[in-house]
Structures are given as C-alpha cells and as structure tokens.
Amino acid sequence: MTCSLEDLRRQFPLHLLVWNNDYSNLEKVLTKNNIEQVDPRGRTPLHLAVSLGHLESARVLLRHNADVTRENLKGWTVLQEAVSTGDPELVQVVLQHRDFHKASTALGGVPELLGRIREAPDFYMEMKWEFTS
C-alpha cells in the first residue's frame, strides 16, 4: 500500500512537517492538529523528531507540551530515542522537559492538599524523639 504525498499531508500533517524539519510551519499549524497523533509505527510527532535528530522540531513540539513520557509501539520512550541519536543537546532538551513533567505531576496535588489542611479542625499532638548511638 502506497500513499501519495497529498494523502500523507492530509493524514499526518505534523509528521510530514517533522520529517522535513519544517519547524517554522510546524509552529504555525500545531494548534489545528493533534500533537499526540500516532503514525502507523506508533510514533508521535515528537518521537519522530527525536529519532530523526531534528532538534528544532523537537523544541517546537516540547514548547507546545508534547507528551515527553509517551512510548512508541516498540516501548521506546522519547528519552531512549534521544539517547540513541548520540546528540547530547537533544538528550539534554528531552531530559529537561521530562524532569519538568515529573515535577509538575508530583506537585499537582499540593494545592488541594493545602486546602484540605486549612479546612481541618485544630488538633493537638505530642511527639517524642529518641536517638541512641
């Protein structure tokens, strides 16, 4: 089964722009397309950009909150793809976004927790600490 360029442009517009590393047009059309769409090989546009070593396209996608933790069909994460390219700058960019995502997720429940603590009635507690050596 072969697809024409027009079919690819229609079905996978972001993937095609990433393939060509056309990051300026990628930036323009991101809001009109699904940034997490997967191609037949299970790759998101970010996976494709990283596996091709297209740093500029990867930066655009990461700026627009592409999921850096997602795996492709073979179970590879974006970070593993970045490491396989051997490009230290690409690895660093992916690591920064992955770490930010992890921290954001971990801290996501903190405001709710603080609100519940404020609503809790006052209480009294004593603690005894004992250290021996």
For the chain, the C-alpha Rg in angstroms (whole number) is: 22
Q: Residue 16's pLDDT is what?
A: 92
* Residues in contact with 18: Cβ distance below 8 Å, sequence separation at least 6, in sequence order: 26, 45, 48, 49, 52, 54, 57, 61
Q: Residue 101's pLDDT is what?
A: 81
- Scanning 41-123, the segments in alpha helix (DSSP H) are 45-52, 55-63, 78-85, 88-107, 110-119
Residue count of the chain: 133
Instruction: Quickly state the pLDDT bin for 2 (edges 50, 70, 90).
Output: low
Enter the tokens of residue 79: 């970070």
Distance of alpha carbon 131 from alpha carbon 104, whole angstroms:
36
Mean pLDDT, range 12-16, rounded to an integer: 92
Mean pLDDT, range 101-105, rounded to an integer: 78
Domains and CATH numbers, the chain: 5-93 (1.25.40.20)
